[in-house]
Amino acid sequence: MSSSPVPEQNPDLTGDAAEIEALRARLEPLLPEAVEDLKDLVRIPSIAFPGHDRDPVHRSAEAVAELLRGAGMDSVSIESVGEGAPAVIGRSPAADGRPTVLLYAHHDVQPTGDPADWTTPPFEPVEREGRLYGRGAADDKAGVMAHVTALRLVGEELARDGVGVTVFVEGEEEAGSPTFRPFIEAHREALAADLIVVADSANWAVGTPALTTSLRGVVDVVVEVRALEHAVHSGLFGGPVLDALTQLSRLLATLHDEHGEVAVEGLVRAPDPAVDMDEADFRRDAGVPDGHALSGSGPLTARLWARPALSVIGIDAPSVRDASNTLVPVARAKVSLRIPPGESPDAAMEALVGHLERHAPATAAVSVRRGERGKPYSASQGSPAMDLARSAFAASWRTPAVDTGLGGSIPFIADLLEVFPAAEVLVTGVEDPESRAHGIDESLHLGEFGRVCLAEALLLRGAGSLGGRPA
Ligand SMILES: [Zn+2]
C-alpha cells in the first residue's frame, strides 16, 4: 500500500468529537448481541444456487425479517418475484420532504466447497483470535448485521428526525441476482431512496476503511471467421488456403500489443488510483506462478480498475480429441472487454467491433455479433452524500477512508442506478483482505465489524442533512 494522498475528509459533518465518542460508547454494549445474532444467521446454510435446498434460504429470510422487526422497523415483509429467492424489505418511511436511505445487503451465501477443507465446519460459527469464522460470517451476513446494529443504535433518533430508512436484504446475490431487475421494478415505490448504501464490498486493510468508488463495466462480442464453404483435406488444399482457426487466432492476436496492453484504439483510461497493491499479494491471490511476468505496465490498481482489459473467454472450433487432417472452415471466439469508469459501453463496443472489422483478413469473411453491455460505475465525488460517508468513516476508524475500485462489475449496481436515477449509490463493506469471501475459512474481523456499525450509524444520523425528494 502506498501512502498516497486521500480525498479531503471533514469529520465535523457527523458531529463533534464528544458526540461521536458518546455514540461509540453506546455501541459497545450492543456488539456482543450483534455477534450472537450474526452467528445464528451463519448457522443457516442459505445457498440460493440451483440444485440446493431452498428451505434454508426461506429460513434465513425469516430470521432477517425478525431481526428487522426487532430493530423497530415500521413494516417488514418477505417478497419474491417468480422463482426468485425471498428478499426482505424493512421500511420506516421518511417524514414529508425528509430523505430516505436504502441499506442493501444479501442473506444468501456461496457454497462451501468441501467442508473437510475448512478448519472448523462452515456453518458452525467459531471465534478465533478476534475473527468470526463461518460461511457468510463476512459476505454478507455481517452486512445484514451492520444494518440491524446501526438501526438498534440510532433508529429512534432517525424516526424523531423524520429520516426514512429502508432495508433491502436480497436472497440470491451469490447466484447472480437472476430476478433483481424485475424485483426492484416491482417494488420501485417501496425501495425508492435518496441514498443507497450497498454494504457488500471490502475495506482496504484492517484499520483502514475504504469506499469502493469505481467498478469496471463489461462489453462482449462473438467474432466469427469463415474461410471456406466446407471442411476440406488439409493435405490436398492446405497452402493456398489458411484454415479459419489460424485466421481467427491471428485476428485475436491483434487485440493486444507486444506488452500485453489492449491495442484497440479509442478506449478510455481512467486516471491512476491513489493507492497501489503489493505485487506479491496480487500474484498469490491470482495464482500467478513464480517466474511469469505480469502483462501491461503501471500500478496494478490502474491495470485492474482504471484501464480496459480484454480476454478471449471461449472458442468454438474442433476439440483436440476430434481433430482430423482438415482445414477448419469456420471458427468463433467470444471476446470480453472490461471498461473503466468514464467509458461508455456503446462507444467501447463500437471501438472493439471496428478494430475487428479493420483487421479482418482478405482471406476470410469476418462477422461480429454484439453481446452484453454493462456500464462501469464511478461514485460521484464531492457530493454531500460522499462527503458525509468520508466523514463517518474517518470518525469511526480515526483514519481517512481510501478510494478503492473493483476490476469486476456488480451488475445490480447498474440496475439500481437505472431504476433509481435520482439516488446516489455508496459502496461500503465489512470485509478486509483476510476475509476470504467465497473461499475456505471465510471470516470477519470483529474489531472492524464494530467500526463498520459505528460508521453506518454516523452516516444515517448525518443523512438528515441531505435533501429529501420533493413530495
Ligand atoms: Zn456479497
Which pLDDT score is estimated for 9?
57
User: What kind of fold does domain 233-270+307-374 have according to CATH?
Assistant: Alpha-Beta Plaits (3.30.70)
Spatial separation of the C-alpha atoms in residues 83 and 179, rounded to whole Å: 8
- Average model confidence (pLDDT) for the chain? 94
The single residue of 108, 139, 224, 403 carrying the catalytic annotation is 108
Distance 307 CA to ligand 1 centre (A): 24
Consecutive H or E run containing 106 = strand 100-106
- Closest Cα partner for 113 from 466, 439, 445? 439
* pLDDT higher than 70, residue 2: no
Which pLDDT tens digit goes with each residue over 220-251? 999 999 999 999 999 999 999 999 999 999 99
User: Residue 141 and residue 39: Cα distance in Å, rounded?
Assistant: 9
Identify the H or E element spanning 76.
strand 75-79
Q: What are phi and psi of 92, to 5 degrees?
A: -135, 95
The span from the CA of 163 to the CA of 298, in Å, is 44
Domain 11-215+376-466, CATH among 3.40.50.2000, 3.20.20.70, 3.40.50.300, 3.40.630.10:
3.40.630.10
**pLDDT per residue as tens digits for the range 380-437:** 888 899 999 999 999 999 999 999 998 887 878 888 989 999 999 999 999 998 999 9
Mean pLDDT for the stretch of residues 337-344: 96
pTM for the model:
0.85
Number of C-beta neighbours around residue 140 at 10 A: 28
Average pLDDT value for residue range 75-101: 97
Residue 140 CA, ligand 1 centroid: distance in Å: 5
From the CA of 301, how far away is ligand 1's center (Å)?
A: 21
Domain positions in the chain are 11-215+376-466, 233-270+307-374
pLDDT of residue 5 exceeding 50, the answer is no
Active site residue 108: yes
